[in-house]
Chain A
Amino acid sequence: MKNYLVKICLIFCGLMTCLLLANCKKDDVPIPENKANSVIDGINLLRQSGCNCGTESMPPVPLLKLNTFLQDAAQTHARDMAQKNYFDHFSPEGTSPNERAAAAGYPGIFISENLAKGYNNADQVLTAWKNSVSHCKAMMDAKNREAGMGTAQNYWVVTFGAP
């Protein structure tokens, strides 16, 4: 009977280990909708209320719509930075943010891109971007009408555009 229990427990442990290993392979897993939304939602909260970017008061602006093409562009870049260990708008192959948006099939006009590295959750990223005038203004730019977000490891990308 004891041997039987031991075997059951061993199988249980094996299953748990498999589950953990599966979770470790994060990069190949699509971004959970709620994670993407949490960043875009956070930006939209700022856009809804208006905020200060540095000393400049930014008025409320229309909310961003989530765009799947921009999301593809952002996710591609986040994954590329994580895999190749760099942090830049320009890829080592020379691809620029507007080219990534076009390559993802985005039919609108690419406007801007915010990057972050070294943050582990959406709140930290949003705080860092809000504290940087240039990133804050990009988040509050009325020309931006839609956006996509990508993340891999602790790299974060939001790509903004307009239809």
Chain B
Amino acid sequence: MKNDKMKWGMLAACLFVVLLSCKKEKEDPKLDNGKVKAWETLIDGNSLANYTSFEAQWNYNYPWGTDHNGSARMVGSTSNHNQISVNGGVLTIKATRLASSPGNSTSNGFTNVPIWYSSGTCYAKQQVIINDQFPSYTISGDFAVPTVKGTWPAFWITGVNSWPPESDIMEFKGSNTNWQNTYDGSWENKLTAVSNAGAYHNYKCWYNKVSATDVDCHYYIDNVWVAQHKMSNSVNKPMWLIINMQMEGDSGTPGPSGDTFYTGKNIYMGRERAF
């Protein structure tokens, strides 16, 4: 008899536990420090679909003009696509050797560099600004690059109002070594040999605000993490995104005598919008 009572008691306890468990599912939900995050796309591969899309999101040449730190002068406009063109989602930049030099670079600090090439550059109308409202960005693209001496393709961001900051997501200087660099007053460099760089590879950086002044830069090649740099004092400093092909300079001389091509596609810029 005692055993029977014990068995019934155990059964009742078991059923009680089952009922309690069921009740949990129906309890009013309680908030557990609810959080939200939003991500938005600013530039996608569609910006290279045709000239209407391209010119809506990109400007020709550098933000400061046609010349910089190498022997190429950038040529490009709504009516001249000899050196920079888009077609079906692909951006093509062509560098052409000139028969004679039209003079030296007009860029500050490089006025001793003679111009020997016509090439192409564009920069995004959308600036990058990392701050409390936009604490995280990712910028990426697929690029097929030249690696011969004297060719200097790059995909990078640099300060609008000051230099530093600078972050080079992709930069080849006359070899198959990709330089991913961060400059905040001193340089951090990550050099990676890329096999078959003339075929498309993906280059990416994830920027993440980590303090009131500093940003961490996580660099990737083909979605493999390769380096983390610190870009100090770069919060709230607007930056340009630039795609360009300079020639000679840091990539060596003499550059090629024939045409050199640099192509890109699936260019993406997205960011977290905190409020």
Contacts and interface: CB of A to CB of B under 8 A. Distances in A.
Contact of B268 (A98, A116, A120, A134): A98
A81 to B, nearest CB: 10
Interface stretch (B11-19, B98-106, B123-131): B11-19
Contacts, number: 113
Interface string A122-142: 001000110011110010000
B34 A124 contact: yes
B37 interface: yes
Contacts of B220: 94
B225 A94 contact: yes
A96 B36 contact: no
Most buried by A among B18, B46, B218: B18
B138 A128 contact: no
Interface stretch (A13-21, A34-42, A43-51, A63-71): A13-21
Interface string A1-16: 0100010011001001
B35 A113 contact: no
Interface string A68-96: 00000000000000000001111001111
Contacts of B18: 13, 16-17, 20
A57 B10 CA distance: 61
B44 A109 contact: yes
B42 to A, nearest CB: 10
Contact of B21 (A20, A87, A128): A20
A23 to B, nearest CB: 8
A112 B41 contact: yes
B36 A132 contact: yes
A155 to B, nearest CB: 10
Contacts of B109: none
Given A94-B218, A96-B138, A138-B40, A13 B34 contact: no
Given A90-B136, A98-B44, A135 B7 contact: no
A132 B167 CA distance: 31
A129 B40 contact: no
A118 B4 contact: no
Interface residues of A: mostly helix, strand, loop or mixed? mixed
A128 B37 CA distance: 10
A121 B206 contact: no
A18 to B, nearest CB: 11
Given A117-B34, A154-B32, A90 B41 contact: no
Contact of A90 (B38, B138, B268): B138
B35 A87 contact: yes
Contacts of B8: 6
A113 B272 CA distance: 9
A2 B5 CA distance: 11
Nearest to A116: B36
B37 A115 contact: yes
B126 to A, nearest CB: 15
B14 A112 contact: no
Contacts of B29: 119-121, 124
A132 B34 contact: no
A118 B32 CA distance: 5
A74 B208 CA distance: 22
B44 A128 contact: no
A97 interface: yes
A110 interface: yes
B274 interface: yes
B273 to A, nearest CB: 4
A114 interface: yes
B35 A135 contact: no
B39 interface: yes
Interface in B18-36: 18, 21-22, 25, 29-36
Nearest to B140: A96
Most buried by B among A98, A118, A128: A98
A2 to B, nearest CB: 6
Interface of B: 4, 7-8, 11, 14-15, 18, 21-22, 25, 29-41, 44-46, 136, 138, 140, 204, 206, 208, 218, 220, 223, 225, 268, 270, 272-275
